[in-house]
Amino acid sequence: MKLGINRKYLFAFLALFIIIVLIALYGTSGFIRYHFGDILIVILIYCFIKSFVRNRMKWLPLAIFIFSVLVEIGQYFHLVERLGLAHISIARVAIGMTFDPWDIVMYFIGCVLLYLYELFLSEKIRN
């Protein structure tokens, strides 16, 4: 595995992080607040990993989807409360408090977009 800083992905991660924080702070309702942010979250995770790992990872969107679904399952079983972390706001935000099956749909859409992006990169590299 080749490690190193990829500035393009690091910049994308930081930009997405700012956008997601703004959505969380100022989005009060609707598609952007409750669904689009979930698509951006999986892309944020992808960009964070690609910021430090230089290898091609066609499987990464699938791994991110599985991770996201596991987090959502943790929300279903009230993981934050069971771990005694409900009083810690960063834990409530990072793990989440409310299960929503639509979140899984949005994670899937985001990961499909990432997979298509990976395919596009593969084609670009071959040509």
Q: What pLDDT was estimated at residue 58?
A: 86
Number of domains in the chain: 1
- Between CA 16 and CA 10 the distance in angstroms is 10
- Between CA 24 and CA 33 the distance in angstroms is 7
Whether 70 is covered by a domain: the verdict is: yes
Whether 15 is covered by a domain: the verdict is: yes
Cα 2 to the center of its chain, rounded Å: 22
Whether 1 is covered by a domain: the verdict is: no
Whether 105 is covered by a domain: the verdict is: yes
Q: Burial letters for 20-47: b for 16+ Cβ neighbours within 10 Å, e otherwise?
A: beeeeeeeeeeeeeebbbbbbbbbbbbb
Whether 52 is covered by a domain: the verdict is: yes
Q: Which residue has the higher pLDDT, 48 or 124?
A: 48
Q: How many angstroms separate the first and last alpha carbons of the chain?
A: 24
127, pLDDT greater than 80: no
Q: What pLDDT was estimated at residue 65?
A: 98
Whether 2 is covered by a domain: the verdict is: no
pTM of this structure: 0.89
Domain region containing 55: 7-126
pLDDT > 70: percent of the chain:
95
Whether 71 is covered by a domain: the verdict is: yes
Q: What pLDDT was estimated at residue 2?
A: 85
Whether 20 is covered by a domain: the verdict is: yes
Tens-place pLDDT, residues 77-121 = 999 999 999 999 888 888 888 999 999 999 999 999 999 998 887
